[in-house]
Amino acid sequence: MSNGFVLVLLRQLREGMEKFQQESHGRMDDTGQRLNQMIGSLDRVENDLNELKKHMRQHALNQAKHEEQHSQSLENVDKELRGLKEQIHTLKSTR
């Protein structure tokens, strides 16, 4: 009778371990799928950030060019203004 009890107990343990193994594999598969999804999402985010970095760099270069052109224009206007002031001063002194 005790052998029968031990056999039943061992069978239940084996069945429980098999069930646990199957459930564990299922959970591991689910976890693997979720990890793959997360990796895919992180790849997309990384790619988007790289594109944003390129865009921001180009924007900064364009802005620097614009500021340089604006600065040169202001220098030209300043030179012309000084020339006009000199002409006005010359005209006033010849009167």
CA distances from 25 to 21, 32, 38, 92 (A): 6, 10, 20, 98
Whether residue 62 is predicted with pLDDT greater than 90 in this model: the reply is: yes
Enter the pTM of the model.
Answer: 0.58
**What would the pLDDT profile of 30-55 be if each residue is shown by its tens digit?**
999 999 999 999 999 999 999 999 99
> CB neighbours (10 Å) of residue 70?
10
User: Rounded to an integer, what distance in angstroms lies between the CA atom of residue 37 and that of residue 31?
Assistant: 10
Residue 75, classed as helix, strand or coil, is helix
Given this model, what pLDDT does residue 6 score?
87
CA 19 from chain center: how many Å? 43
Given this model, what pLDDT does residue 20 score?
92
Residue 45, H or E segment: helix 2-94
**What would the pLDDT profile of 16-30 be if each residue is shown by its tens digit?**
999 999 999 989 999
